Structure formats: C-alpha cells, structure tokens
Amino acid sequence: MKEISAGGVVYRRTEAGELQIQLIQDRYGKVSLPKGKMEPGETVEQTALREIAEETGLTGVIVKPIDQIKYQYHDEAKGTVDKEVHYYLVEAVGGSLQAQVEEIRGVDWFEPMDAWRRQKQSGYDNNNRILSGALLLLGLKTD
C-alpha cells in the first residue's frame, strides 16, 4: 500500500525585510515541519497548502518543490506501507499563526540559522536535507 503526504518549509519576510523560517513542535516535542496525508481528489500541492493552513493557521503559496522523503512503516491494519512525503518551499501570504493543538504543541518563526540549529538539535534526521534544501533555495548555506 502507498500513502502520500505533503507539507512545506514556510518562510516570510518581516516588515524590516528579515527572512524568517517557521518550525513546529510536534506532539512528541520534536522540531518538525507541517505536513499531512493527501485526501481524495487533492493534488500533492493542494495537500501541502491545506496541511500548512490546518496546522499553523497560515495561508501560503508554493514557490518551488524542495524534495521528497520515502520510507516504509508497518501498520497493524494495512501491513507494510510505502510512505512518500513531498515538501515544498512555501511563502506565507496570509492567516495568523495559530497551532492546531490536536496535532502539534506549538509553531513559531525563527531566524534562518537559528531554525537550522534547532532542526539539527531536536528535529528528525530526514528533515535535515529538507530544511537545508529550503535554505539553499532562499540563498543560504547551512554548512
């Protein structure tokens, strides 16, 4: 069985022109990125934008695809599931920052290198290349 999810690295520029990156804290207390499962009739891009809006309260526009993460997991009912997660670079254009408390513990904006440090310290390893790829698309190097 195949399961597709999508999400994104959300960014904005402050009124002073400073770049900020959004990170969420998931229900397990880890640093993460907003994402979720594709619903029937949705495109992958629509899924990414819907999940970002649901989890963070923000509306965004997709700038570019970043990358995909693929892995397998075992589900009692479904058996082995081939999971595919598509990530996009998304510019925040509206809404107001508000964590979906049923899904996540918190959401906030960070200076890009602070976001990278937090990801490396308490994020999921497979999100390193996603955040790094997003920062690269924004003209920033992580090394």
The predicted pLDDT at position 84 comes to: 96
Amino acid occupying residue 4: I
CA distance 8 to 45: 10
**How far is the C-alpha of 63 from the C-alpha of 71, rounded, in Å?**
25
Judge whether 54 and 95 are in contact, CB under 8 Å.
Answer: no
CATH of domain 2-137: 3.90.79.10
Type of residue numbered 73: Y
Residue 100: the pLDDT is 86
Task: Supply the pLDDT for residue 102.
Answer: 79
Q: Alpha helices, DSSP H only, in 12-78?
A: 44-56
Using one digit for the tens of pLDDT, what is the confidence trace for 82-137? 999 999 999 999 998 888 877 788 999 999 999 999 999 999 999 999 999 999 99
Over residues 33-37, the mean pLDDT reads 96
Instruction: Tell me the average pLDDT across 12-32.
Output: 95
In the chain, domain spans: 2-137
| pLDDT attached to residue 133 | 97
Backbone angles phi, psi at 138, to 5 degrees: -90, 5
Rounded average pLDDT over 57-73: 96
pLDDT of residue 143 exceeding 80: no
